[in-house]
Amino acid sequence: MGRRGSGYGSEDHFIRYRLDDSNVLDSYVKAVLPHAGGITWLYPAQGVAEEPKDLAFIHLTEEQLRQWNAFWPNPGNRSWDGIASCDGEWLLFEAKANENELCSPGTNASPRSLQQITKALEEVKLFLGIPSATVWHQRYYQYANRLAVLYFLNVVAHIPARLIFVYFIGDVFPDGRPCPQTEQVWRLLISKCHAELGLPERHRLSDRMHEVFIPVRISSKSDAMI
């Protein structure tokens, strides 16, 4: 997500739901999970101002840290829109409110980092049975690198985690950028993303990827809590 808007944008809507209507947000999330335990939020949370970066929120063992540094450039600049835990599993949240957020630009990594990123993405594609020629470091790169983290945690580090995409319905931006007004429009855009990345409907990580569609909140009791 970019800079937080006031009354619009995925970051603003996510934080408002979390701080003002947490039970409602939790109910949406629980509806897509295979278990119904309580959700413990690390971010957004009262008094926590910064989005979590990469895997800084997880206490990695020395071996897991070595594996992560070998897998992905460190330090990275990946920010999470939300982090929580439920029934011993990490929940990683990525929120979207307009088309441009889903269709992200490619990586601007340095040549050395790009080489490491490309190697990591190739490893994930091989695991999922996706042809190596499929490009993951350009358009939809953000979606691809989130998928890479999900792969690393569950497959390499053996840390149970789920990736939850939150799609807000009915947003309106001051600059008039296109914002899906229905779940059906979002699903069409997601299908286009999956097709370009070569993701089949079912793959070895699909059980750990979830989609939540939430209408934007019209009003809020708190304008800027964090």
Closest CA to 179 of 166, 167, 191, 193: 167
Q: Is the pTM of this model over 0.85?
A: yes
Q: What tens digit of pLDDT does each residue of 165-196 get? A: 999 999 999 998 999 999 999 999 999 999 99
Q: In angstroms, how far apart are the furthest CA atoms of the chain?
A: 49
Which amino acid would we find at residue 91? L
Closest CA to 58 of 73, 48, 46, 43: 43
Q: Which CA distances in Å does 184 have to 18, 76, 180?
A: 24, 34, 9
Write the pLDDT tens digit of every residue in 24-43.
999 999 999 998 789 999 99
Question: Which strands sit side by side in the sheet containing 89-96, from one edge to the other?
Answer: 39-43, 82-86, 89-96, 161-169, 209-215
**Structure tokens, 192:** 């286009």
- Output the DSSP codes for 72-92: S-SS---B-SEEEEETTEEEE
DSSP state of 110: -
Nearest to 89 by CA among 179, 171, 14, 154: 154
pLDDT in tens, 119-168: 999 999 999 999 999 999 999 999 999 999 999 999 999 999 999 999 99
